């Protein structure tokens, strides 16, 4: 039975009103240890890939990490929008006193237990629950079953992928997005952090690593064009924290010089932030001994500054030590994290570190994005790592879970969503009008 003109106009109006916006897919890069000024005006001349992303997209002045400005806490903050004290991953090294098990920078089997990860739901779990596939490449934690869910594809992390492996991962990620095997692809890369630690943030080795990363980004940008994905994929690139120079020879705080280590039942990490679990009855003694140490702040758990959003964490120790920028806390010098620089022995000094007060500029990371949802050649004031989650949810069309980010501070990075839906509505209009013309 043929419809009359009134029926067709009613159908046309209904379709235009109910046509959902089309959400492009998302390619995410997490570049470990990439300080905000690694793409300063003085360095950009050697980085045409970064130049192209900045010219065609948005760039924040910096991205302030969550405290502590360490990797695992901020990996999870970025993907949940939650402060560390909420999602519970409060360090690279943690201890569960009740169960007497440790989380050791994700390298030990116990690090995969759900108790560390189930404090919040990361974006990839939310997407998988919504039947939207996610592919992850070297992303720490993608191998873990979180709240009973794993991503559709996980290429597990190892220390550390080469530029060729990064390039292959990027190509595979784009293919997954192109073929519909993923709505989001997330790629992690570590070498910038490694070179920053070993040689320092201003070293030629770190700069060379940045140039090699840029070469991979150039290939990615080219492949996006070749695969005809420019209108179908948003790209976001951000880091977990920055890096600052350290000087072990004269800026080391050796705990054995101030306290009796027998008064401690557990110590976790070294460097900018150290966690201590005192033996029974020893907390007050240790606190009094450490509070007079120069270049060191010691906090009892309840006295940790609110601005750190840290003290409510389940695995936060009774005493937390925080060093001044550039200073390094360690039990004794023999336990400094030396590394092998090709001499067959682990005797080389580290020249860069992070984990310090997250408001220090050297701890700030980078945030860049471009694609159909983002403004072009747009600069923004600094954002926080808690804000990134809301951006990802928005461009993916995923309803965000409760979080600590501020949408009002980042929504200006995006184009008007209404304008993005016009092409779809126009196509619907043209199709229905053609049918309407035939019918009448």
Q: Which of 62, 69, 71, 111 is catalytic?
A: 71
Residue 9 CB partners (closer than 8 Å, separation 6+) = 436
| CB-CB neighbours of 431 under 10 Å | 12
Bridge partners (DSSP) listed for residue 347:
none
- Smallest CA-to-CA distance from 329 within 409, 271, 265, 415 is with 271
What is the distance between the alpha carbons of residues 270 and 276, in angstroms, rounded to a whole number? 11
DSSP structure string for 286-320? HHHHHTT-TTEEEEEGGGS-GGG--TT-TT--SEE
DSSP code, position 31? E
Cis upstream peptide for 160 (omega within 30°): yes
- Does residue 71 carry a catalytic annotation? yes
Pairing between strand 339-340 and 25-31?
unpaired
Q: Token pair for residue 279?
A: 């033996």
Report how far residue 299's alpha carbon sits from residue 295's, in angstroms, rounded to the nearest whole number.
14
Annotated catalytic residues are: 71
């Amino acid at each position: 039975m043929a419809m009359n003109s009134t029926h067709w106009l009613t159908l046309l109006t209904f379709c235009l009103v109910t046509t959902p916006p089309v959400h492009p897919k998302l390619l995410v890069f997490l570049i470990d240890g990439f300080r905000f000024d690694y793409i300063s005006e003085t360095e950009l001349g050697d980085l045409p890939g970064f130049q192209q992303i900045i010219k065609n997209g948005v760039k924040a002045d910096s991205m302030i990490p969550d405290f502590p400005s360490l990797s695992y806490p901020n990996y999870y903050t970025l993907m949940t929008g939650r402060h560390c004290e909420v999602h519970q991953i409060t360090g690279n090294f943690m201890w569960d006193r009740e169960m007497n098990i440790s989380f050791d920078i994700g390298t030990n089997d116990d690090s995969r237990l759900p108790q560390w990860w189930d404090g919040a739901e990361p974006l990839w779990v939310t997407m998988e629950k919504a039947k939207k596939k996610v592919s992850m490449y070297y992303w720490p934690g993608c191998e873990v079953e979180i709240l009973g869910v794993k991503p559709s594809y996980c290429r597990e992390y190892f220390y550390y992928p080469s530029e060729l492996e990064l390039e292959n991962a990027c190509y595979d990620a784009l293919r997954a997005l192109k073929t519909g095997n993923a709505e989001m692809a997330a790629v992690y890369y570590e070498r910038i952090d490694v070179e920053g630690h070993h040689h320092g943030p201003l070293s030629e080795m770190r700069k060379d690593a940045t140039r090699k990363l840029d070469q991979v980004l150039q290939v990615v940008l080219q492949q996006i064009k070749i695969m005809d994905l420019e209108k179908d994929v948003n790209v976001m690139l951000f880091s977990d924290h920055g890096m600052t120079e350290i000087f072990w020879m004269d800026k080391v705080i050796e705990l054995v010089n101030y306290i009796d280590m027998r008064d401690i039942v557990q110590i976790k990490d070294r460097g900018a932030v150290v966690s201590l679990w005192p033996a029974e009855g020893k907390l007050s003694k240790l606190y009094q001994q450490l509070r007079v140490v120069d270049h060191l702040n010691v906090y009892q758990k309840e006295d940790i500054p609110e601005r750190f959003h840290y003290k409510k964490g389940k695995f936060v120790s009774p005493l937390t030590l925080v060093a001044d920028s550039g200073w390094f806390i360690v039990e004794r010098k023999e336990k400094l994290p030396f590394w092998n620089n090709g001499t067959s022995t682990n005797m080389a000094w580290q020249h860069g570190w992070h984990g310090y007060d997250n408001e220090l500029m050297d701890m700030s990371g980078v945030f860049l994005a471009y694609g159909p949802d983002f403004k072009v050649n747009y600069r923004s004031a600094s954002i926080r790592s808690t804000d990134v989650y809301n951006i990802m949810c928005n461009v993916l069309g995923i309803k965000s879970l409760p979080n600590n980010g501020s949408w009002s501070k980042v929504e200006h990075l995006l184009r008007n969503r209404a304008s993005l839906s016009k092409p779809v509505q126009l196509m619907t209009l043209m199709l229905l009008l053609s049918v309407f013309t035939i019918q009448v």
